[in-house]
Structure 1
Amino acid sequence: MPLPDSTPVIVGVGQVSERHGEPGYRGRSPVDLAADAAREALDDAAIAASEIDTIAGVRQFENSLPFSQAPLGRSDNFPRSVAARVGAAPYRAVLEVGGGQSPQHLVNEFAAAIAAGDARVVLLAGAEAISTIERLSRSGDRPDFTEHAPGSLEDRGFGLEGIVSFDHFPYGLTEAPTYYALFENARRARRGLSRAAYAAEMGALFEPFTRIAAANPHSAAPVARSAAELVTVTEANRPIADPYTRYLVAREKVNQGAAVLLMSLAAARRLGVPKQKWVFVAGHADLRERDLLARADLSTSPAAVAATRHALDLAGIDMDGLASMDLYSCFPAPVFAVTDAFGLSPDDPRGLTVTGGLPFFGGAGNNYSMHAIASIVDRARAEPGSYGLVGANGGMMSKYSTGVYTTAPVAWKPSDSQKLQAELDARPAPGEAASPSGPAVVETYTVKHDRGGDRTGIVIGRLESDGRRFLAHGDEILDLLTEAEPIGARVTVRSDDDGNRVS
């Protein structure tokens, strides 16, 4: 049967990048990079920017927290600044909440809006210029990236609820690697692996990623590395938060932009977009985890697994039916959450990434998965009828958005994300002890290393009396945390005005 005219379809994608010291480097701002990617997406579809009725922008890191700074200034209306650069005057402009799920969530949201008749031509765009901004902010000739873009803006805020807790800051949980290290060590314990065996497993996971990044012209770190090289501590590969070394964490100092152009089938036909450019969203889902201490299992992500499975179910395929995939890889833990559930191997011939992953291709802030989507779209076009999956993780393994892409014509199907979310939220979970005291056991941990060699121990434990969970300082048991097997160890927790401590 013919597809409805309102069926959403991706018709254009674009990616741009630059590395300092290489030919063509221009020191572009985030707006400039996003606009150049948007021009590529428009050129890909061969349509005029004046056709865009809606633009949605991905939030930069320098505008993702209440205390974030923009050293060189920034636009006060990022989406409309991008629109102005390309000659568009959309009636609606959106600035999405923070989080790596943002690009895929925007595809899901605005594909649904197109299907409902609430939009016809939608541009999604984002970029980061963290490398350029850091370099130029130290120079004597500082550019000013401040700009005012007139027009309405639907600013959705930071979206930090349930992701970042300022109550965690005193314990050293101030950045993503520390949170993810807690998940990683919980998984190591579940698998019963030694520190060395688990390091080897992380290295084996990411070694193929480095080879893909090395062949990607947009990569920030196009260097193939062995599994051993990724996990061996050196001056260049210093410890970050046990069990992570520098090579295992997302590389945020990049200059990259990407854009995706969606429209209805009616618009695609009216504007003469060739059918070989059309890529359909065959499946999708958007789910989230509970707050950190309210999760049933810190070693995995049920939301990521359920979102991936539901997107595949909507597409009418299973994992074996995919020709390509990109699993969000800010750290090993989010990749393992999916590979464990679906039995995927690090040496899967299809690869677990199409870009090279966030530590090697580059973690372009919240916008990384826009690059993954653009790359999957290119793969789908190169192999008509094939299916590709994008899994986009946000926050502290907090949100997960998925999309399945194909050139095979398929009608838009609403997801059951709301029902699935209710099922996830109904799972039993441990309570939290606000002021814990007494015998306890270590559930997971990490030791954070700063550049000066100082270490901070962080412990999540359970009270022996009732199983309630708590967060605590672990500096009094650093020897246990660094040299022995902490997980399952009996400790004593006490609470005072300075917080919770274990000994």
Structure 2
Amino acid sequence: MTGTKLGDTARIPVIIGCGQINDRAETGADGKDSLELMVAASRAAGADGGEGILYQTDWLGIVNQLSFPELTGTLVEGVSNALGLSPSTARETPSPTGDSPILLINEAANAIGRGEANVALIVGAEALRTAGKRRAEAAAAPAALGAEVSKGPYPKRTSITPQPRHAYGLITPTDVYPLFENAARARYGQTLAQAQAESGTIWAGMSDVAASNKHAWIRRSRTAAEITEPTAENRPIAFPYTKFQVANAAVNQGAAVIVTSLAVARRAGLNDERIIYVGRGAAAHEAADPLNRPDYASSASMAVSLTKTLELNAMSASDFDHMEIYSCFPIVPKMARRVLGIRADRTMTVFGGLTFGGGPIGNYMTHAAACMVEALRKKGTNGLLFANGGYATHNHTIVLTKTPQPAGTFPQDFDFQADADALRGDVPNMIGEYSGPATLETYTIVFDRNGAPKHGVVIARIDAATRAIAIVPSGDSDAIGRLREASADVHGAKGTLTARGGRNIWSFA
């Protein structure tokens, strides 16, 4: 409060409540759904904030979910009715992207800074474990019980617009992020062993944090070798990633944080140790199509989001006692740490990462924010939260701190898209069917559940301004073997594309 006028405190945003829920019902099928988890997490945050603060909520932000599609569009009403809230402002994010929680925290801080809100609740949850078990039970029941049931842990979604990349098996983030990983390995001048060692170092550190975090889903430390080496327990998913290197979405987790003004916190009688200030943030994005990038080893929007946040808060990476660097796949913290200039063995999470802490789709960073509040209450002064959504598409960074922020810090314009667009290079044109010579830019291999290659995917340059996608059939064992060997000359290797059956086929020259 030093240097801050009492009257100004009504518009200084702070976080005073956080709550997290891990639902581990015995059968899974009788677990909570996403809405029930959101309600439980909100109540936990309210209990942490104290003094009936939850029921003063006048601004509600909900991270969308995909576990139960029928709930989408009803979450504001569902949470409000269950908790007896009547927010004057409320919204549910359009989709559950990983940047959503930080976006909502920044929006809530702006609303408080403008005097449009006093108490903001940000909440989200996913219950893919419950949804998957219920679908499995329904599928095993007599057919007379009803409609078709989708298989697997994910709900059946029919709203995805077909994209040309889907014909090549590039459908989910698990298929696409390895393209970035392999491109970055070449950019960084690493061998496969060196790149995997970096991934193992970062992920092992995250597993150590999860092991000691009561909120984490998997509380067991893993060594770098256990994480990167394929085994029966750690099957290959998409080269070079194994199961322990990808987000674990089959969880039932919910989290919530309460953002209010310093004046409200003071009236509630909270002491300084429990009050965490919201610092400035910065956001920018890439094109929605993950292949529509100048290159696959860097991100202008990520760089701008991180560097602008440091500039806005007059800080450097060394000023942070705690960090949460988004970790759906190793390539994201690899790129981010190079922007920040931090080592691979620096602790980059307070929650445990999306593999071990848990990967509740778009709501991971609400858990991270809640853990950051808890961490700062115990030790240290500054925390950095970096969120990533889509296919390394949406980036939003923000600072949480115990250092009192001056009146007038919020509202702030966190949109730095123009800076990212100015930094970004030209994007090569992705063409369709093509037959002729090409050069390998990046690639991956997709594996089946038994660890056998299903096919390879190559992004090839036709020339400096033109790209094409190609499939590598599993029957071409020599080509698959060369991709898997990942020798230094695989990037930039010459080859041929042959248009056949509506797709391009890659073969090495």
Q: Distance in 1 between matches of 2:413 and 2:124?
A: 28
Q: Which residue of 1 aligns with 2:164?
A: 167
Instruction: State the SS of the aligned residue for 1:430.
Output: coil
Q: Which residue of 1 aligns with 2:152?
A: none
What aligned pairs does 1:218-257 form with structure 2 within 5 A after superposition? 218-257=215-254
1:111 to 109, 112, 115: 109
Question: Any gaps of 5 or more consecutive residues in structure 2?
Answer: 142-156
Q: Distance in 2 between matches of 1:356 and 1:422?
A: 33
1:329 aligns with 2:327: yes
CA contact (8 A) 1:126 1:258 kept: yes
What aligned pairs does 1:356-395 form with structure 2 within 5 A after superposition? 356-383=352-379, 386-395=381-390
What aligned pairs does 1:163-202 form with structure 2 within 5 A after superposition? 166-202=163-199
Deviation at 1:127, TM superposition (A): 0.8
CA contact (8 A) 1:314 1:415 kept: no
Q: Distance in 2 between matches of 1:437 and 1:25?
A: 50
Deviation at 1:222, TM superposition (A): 1.3
Deviation at 1:481, TM superposition (A): 2.0
- Letter of the 1:448 partner, please give it: V
Q: Distance in 1 between matches of 2:329 and 2:481?
A: 25
- Per the alignment, do residues 462 and 496 of structure 1 end up closer, same or farther by CA in structure 2, a change over 3 Å counting? same
Instruction: State the SS of the aligned residue for 1:138.
Output: helix
1:490 aligns with 2:487: no
Deviations 1:256-286 (A, max 9, x none): 1100111223333444444433211122111
CA contact (8 A) 1:18 1:25 kept: no
What is the TM-score normalised by the length of structure 2? 0.86
Moved more, 84-93 or 256-265: 84-93
Deviation at 1:204, TM superposition (A): 1.6
1:87 to 84, 89, 92: 84
Deviation at 1:76, TM superposition (A): 4.7
Q: Distance in 2 between matches of 1:106 and 1:165?
A: 29
Q: Distance in 2 between matches of 1:354 and 1:84?
A: 32
1:11 aligns with 2:16: yes
Q: Which residue of 2 aligns with 1:62?
A: 67
Q: Which residue of 2 aligns with 1:155?
A: none
1:311 to 291, 309, 315: 309
Q: Distance in 2 between matches of 1:200 and 1:417?
A: 35
Instruction: State the SS of the aligned residue for 1:224.
Output: coil
Instruction: State the SS of the aligned residue for 1:292.
Output: coil
Moved more, 1-10 or 409-418: 409-418
Q: Which residue of 2 aligns with 1:145?
A: none
Q: Which residue of 2 aligns with 1:67?
A: none
Deviations 1:124-182 (A, max 9, x none): 1011111122223333799xxxxxxxxxxxxxxx9x99xx8722111111111111100
- Letter of the 1:482 partner, please give it: R
Q: Which residue of 2 aligns with 1:149?
A: none
Q: Distance in 1 between matches of 2:84 and 2:162?
A: 40
1:203 aligns with 2:207: no
- Per the alignment, do residues 501 and 75 of structure 1 end up closer, same or farther by CA in structure 2, a change over 3 Å counting? closer
Q: Which residue of 2 aligns with 1:154?
A: none
Q: Which residue of 2 aligns with 1:480?
A: 482
Moved more, 291-300 or 369-378: 291-300
CA contact (8 A) 2:176 2:391 kept: yes
Q: Distance in 1 between matches of 2:72 and 2:291?
A: 36
1:285 to 265, 272, 282: 282
Deviations 1:358-393 (A, max 9, x none): 011110111000010011111222236x00011111
4+ residue segments displaced more than 6 Å: none
Identity of aligned residues (%): 35
Deviation at 1:113, TM superposition (A): 1.6
Deviation at 1:457, TM superposition (A): 1.1
Deviation at 1:80, TM superposition (A): 2.3
Deviation at 1:416, TM superposition (A): 5.7
Q: Distance in 2 between matches of 1:86 and 1:336?
A: 41
Deviation at 1:100, TM superposition (A): 0.5
Moved more, 281-290 or 470-479: 470-479
Instruction: State the SS of the aligned residue for 1:492.
Output: strand
Q: Distance in 2 between matches of 1:343 and 1:56?
A: 33
Instruction: State the SS of the aligned residue for 1:359.
Output: helix
Deviations 1:184-233 (A, max 9, x none): 00011112222233222211221111111111122221111111111111
Q: Which residue of 2 aligns with 1:459?
A: 458
Deviation at 1:77, TM superposition (A): 1.0
Moved more, 261-270 or 352-361: 261-270
Q: Which residue of 1 aligns with 2:41?
A: 37
Deviation at 1:496, TM superposition (A): 5.4
1:137 aligns with 2:135: yes
CA contact (8 A) 1:314 1:413 kept: no
- Per the alignment, do residues 417 and 121 of structure 1 end up closer, same or farther by CA in structure 2, a change over 3 Å counting? closer
Moved more, 397-406 or 47-56: 47-56
Q: Which residue of 2 aligns with 1:345?
A: 343
- Letter of the 1:16 partner, please give it: I
Deviations 1:39-83 (A, max 9, x none): 1111112133331112111111236xxxxxx4xx53651122122
Deviation at 1:415, TM superposition (A): 5.0
Q: Which residue of 1 aligns with 2:126?
A: 128
What is the TM-score normalised by the length of structure 1? 0.87
Q: Distance in 1 between matches of 2:404 and 2:455?
A: 53
CA contact (8 A) 2:59 2:108 kept: no
Question: Any gaps of 5 or more consecutive residues in structure 1?
Answer: 64-69, 143-157
RMSD (Å), alpha carbons: 2.5
Q: Distance in 2 between matches of 1:95 and 1:356?
A: 26
Q: Which residue of 1 aligns with 2:391?
A: 396
Deviation at 1:117, TM superposition (A): 2.1
Instruction: State the SS of the aligned residue for 2:196.
Output: helix
CA contact (8 A) 1:19 1:220 kept: no
Q: Distance in 1 between matches of 2:67 and 2:387?
A: 20
- Letter of the 2:353 partner, please give it: G
Q: Distance in 2 between matches of 1:180 and 1:165?
A: 19
Moved more, 87-96 or 219-228: 87-96
Deviation at 1:312, TM superposition (A): 1.9
CA contact (8 A) 2:307 2:339 kept: no
Q: Distance in 1 between matches of 2:485 and 2:304?
A: 36
Q: Distance in 2 between matches of 1:430 and 1:56?
A: 35
Q: Distance in 2 between matches of 1:177 and 1:339?
A: 21
